[in-house]
Structure 1
Amino acid sequence: MTSEMWDERYATKEYVWAIEPNQFVKEHLTDLDPGTAIDLGAGEGRNAVWLASLGWQATAVDFSAVAL
């Protein structure tokens, strides 16, 4: 898929994925001390936002600028 295709998909008013963090991320990072994280393929940034709420320095990166 091209970035333009992803931009179109994310341009809707509905979330493409979800607002809750990915279950794997939640299960494996909840008990760790905050640190630095990079969320590649972040989509709307749900994992990075959740990590930041726990005190992490989180950076979200995605192919689509619209998503972020």
Structure 2
Amino acid sequence: MWDALKRQDIPACLRICAGTDGSVTLLLELLTGKAVTVSTLEQSVIKATPDIAGLLEIEDGDEVN
């Protein structure tokens, strides 16, 4: 995943949001200077496929949401 975040064809603000391990909402507020509201429309837990596991550096089959 970290190599993908170094790609220069992805805008820096998107790389920062994708790479953070903190609050993306706060980052968006800082970038835009406006309040950001988040509403969860759907959330589920699935087992990581090999591709997802590789990106997240977890084991194949681990639960992710």
Identify whether the pair has TM-score above 0.5, normalized to the shorter chain.
Answer: no
Higher radius of gyration, 1 or 2: 2
| More contact order relative to length (CA 8 Å, sep ≥ 6) | 1
TM-score between both structures, scaled by the size of structure 1: 0.21
Structure with the bigger percentage of strand: 1
TM-score between both structures, scaled by the size of structure 2: 0.21
